[in-house]
């Protein structure tokens, strides 16, 4: 049973991926119409492949899952599947736009197990224009597949708004925790909540569901409001877990060694620690956080230990999980929204170890 479920998940992913290969051809055809030279066409194809495929595709796939749920359809026609999959790929493209740029801004070395795009030979800062192109392609696809729908303009407004919100979260993150200047007095749990909500939750949690509701004809004002009410805290909770696991997760399980402390990240753990630290502990944090030095990192972790962050996290997780369950229980299904949409998101992440 579990294997069957995993099988179908892999199948769903590979069917979804197949759509992107079709889209690359469709995008190339549009580009070719402008009569641009062949090397530029090849470049765009490589940009699309390298930066959009290779991730977990959870965001894109959740558009399809949500659409099936709210329309009560276990099978979609080919045309319907393609349309909803295109919506899924627009989120993956939006994410690619942000990640290509984020890697430059964070001076990262790898992404999804391969070198960051800007580090590839001959790419360099051209990656910035490539990021721009990834975003443009998103609108090109929305136009091709949704121009004739009565919600097209709403999709555009939604994308513009969520893009802006993500940039606001990114900005606050960048100026609160610059790579090269450690200043913990800028950190706070309020800023952390803003950053995770705006930088991640809007586009990763709210956007997939909102897109599915538009296509299902269920994007009423009340339904969208309810989605925000549940999915933004859920997304923030997801990011708190991410921050916690970076520090306390098993590297064997999460598949990487956490670097948030050395990278001066404004994460949940340090912000809780700052609220609880004595002046002496604070001094240790000030002198050791954000330094590329594993002994400094160990001193930070010792303070975290003294402050009982680990047990506090589990209490906190129980509290937040309870609040989110209540929010889900209170969802009004009268306009076609379903609690199950949220329960499935919730179950995927509750008490996750990776």
Pick the stretch among 73-81, 136-144, 204-212, 339-347 that binds a copy of itself (CB under 8 A). 136-144
**Gap between the Cα atoms of 176 and 182, Å rounded:** 9
Are 128 and 180 within 8 A, CB to CB?
Answer: no
Task: Confirm or reject binding of residue 128 to a copy of itself (CB under 8 A).
Answer: yes
Of 31, 25, 88, the closest CA to residue 56 belongs to 88
Pick the stretch among 164-172, 211-219, 317-325, 339-347 that binds a copy of itself (CB under 8 A). 164-172
Residues in the chain: 354
Query: Which partner in Mg ion, a copy of itself, none is near 234 (CB below 5 to 8 A by kind)?
Result: none
**156 vs 321, which CB is nearer to a copy of itself?**
156
Pick the stretch among 128-136, 227-235, 240-248, 300-308 that binds a copy of itself (CB under 8 A). 128-136
Are 316 and 215 within 8 A, CB to CB?
Answer: no
3-state secondary structure of 110: strand
Task: Confirm or reject binding of residue 326 to a copy of itself (CB under 8 A).
Answer: no
Among 174, 218, 254, 349, binds a copy of itself (CB under 8 A): 174
Q: Whole-number minimum distance, CB 118 to a copy of itself, in Å?
A: 10
Of 335, 247, 334, the closest CA to residue 298 belongs to 247
Among 77, 122, 185, 353, binds a copy of itself (CB under 8 A): 122
**129 vs 259, which CB is nearer to a copy of itself?**
129
Task: Confirm or reject binding of residue 171 to a copy of itself (CB under 8 A).
Answer: yes
Task: Confirm or reject binding of residue 126 to a copy of itself (CB under 8 A).
Answer: yes
Count of Cβ atoms closer than 10 Å to residue 326 Cβ? 9
First to last CA, the chain: 22
H or E segment at 38? helix 38-52
Q: Which of residues 184-243 bind a copy of itself (CB under 8 A)?
A: 186, 190-191, 194, 198
Q: At what angle do helices 78-105 and 126-146 cross, to 10 degrees?
A: 160
Task: Confirm or reject binding of residue 296 to a copy of itself (CB under 8 A).
Answer: no
Among 3, 34, 78, 295, binds a copy of itself (CB under 8 A): 34
Structure-token match 């899924």, residue found: 88
Sign of CA dihedral 20, 9, 80, 147: negative
Query: Which partner in a copy of itself, Mg ion, none is near 92 (CB below 5 to 8 A by kind)?
Result: none
Q: Whole-number minimum distance, CB 238 to a copy of itself, in Å?
A: 20
Query: Which partner in Mg ion, a copy of itself, none is near 246 (CB below 5 to 8 A by kind)?
Result: Mg ion
- The DSSP code for 139 is H
Tokens of 154: 């709403």
Task: Confirm or reject binding of residue 163 to a copy of itself (CB under 8 A).
Answer: yes
**Gap between the Cα atoms of 43 and 130, Å rounded:** 9
- The DSSP code for 86 is H
- The DSSP code for 119 is G
Query: Which partner in Mg ion, a copy of itself, none is near 242 (CB below 5 to 8 A by kind)?
Result: Mg ion
Q: Whole-number minimum distance, CB 227 to a copy of itself, in Å?
A: 18
Tokens of 151: 């919600």
Please report, as ranges, the residues that interact with a copy of itself according to CB under 8 A: 31, 34-37, 39-40, 43-44, 101, 104-105, 107, 122, 125-126, 128-133, 136-137, 139-140, 143, 147, 152-153, 156-157, 160, 163-165, 167-168, 170-172, 174-176, 178, 186, 190-191, 194, 198
């Amino acid at each position: 049973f579990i294997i069957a479920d995993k099988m179908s998940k892999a199948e769903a992913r590979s069917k979804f991926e197949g759509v992107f290969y079709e889209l690359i051809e469709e995008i190339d055809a549009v580009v070719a119409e402008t009569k641009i030279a062949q090397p530029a066409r090849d470049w765009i194809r490589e940009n699309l492949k390298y930066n959009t495929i290779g991730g977990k595709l959870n965001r894109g796939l959740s558009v399809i899952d949500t659409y099936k749920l709210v329309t009560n359809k276990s099978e979609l026609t080919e045309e319907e599947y393609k349309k909803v999959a295109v919506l899924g790929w627009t989120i993956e493209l939006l994410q690619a736009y942000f990640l290509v740029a984020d890697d430059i801004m964070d001076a990262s070395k790898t992404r999804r197990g391969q070198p960051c795009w800007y580090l590839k030979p001959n790419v360099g800062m051209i990656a910035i224009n490539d990021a721009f192109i990834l975003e443009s392609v998103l609108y090109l696809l929305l136009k091709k597949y949704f121009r004739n729908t009565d919600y097209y303009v709403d999709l555009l407004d939604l994308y513009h708004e969520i893009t802006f919100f993500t940039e606001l979260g990114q900005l606050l993150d960048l100026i609160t925790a610059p790579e090269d200047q450690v200043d913990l007095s800028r950190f706070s749990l309020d800023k952390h909540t803003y950053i995770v909500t705006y930088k991640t939750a809007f586009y990763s949690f709210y956007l997939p569901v909102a897109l599915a509701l538009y296509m299902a004809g269920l994007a009423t004002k009340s339904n969208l409001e309810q989605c925000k009410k549940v999915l933004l805290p859920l997304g923030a909770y997801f990011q708190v877990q991410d921050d916690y696991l970076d520090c306390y997760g098993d590297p064997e399980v999460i598949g990487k060694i956490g670097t948030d402390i050395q990278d001066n990240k404004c994460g949940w753990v340090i912000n809780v620690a700052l609220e609880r630290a004595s002046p002496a502990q604070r001094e240790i944090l000030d002198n050791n956080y954000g330094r590329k030095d594993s002994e400094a990192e160990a001193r930070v972790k010792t303070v975290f230990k003294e402050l009982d962050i680990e047990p506090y996290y589990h209490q906190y997780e129980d509290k937040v999980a309870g609040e989110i369950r209540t929010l889900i229980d209170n969802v009004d299904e009268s306009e076609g929204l379903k609690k199950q949409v949220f329960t499935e998101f919730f179950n995927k992440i509750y008490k996750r170890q990776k």
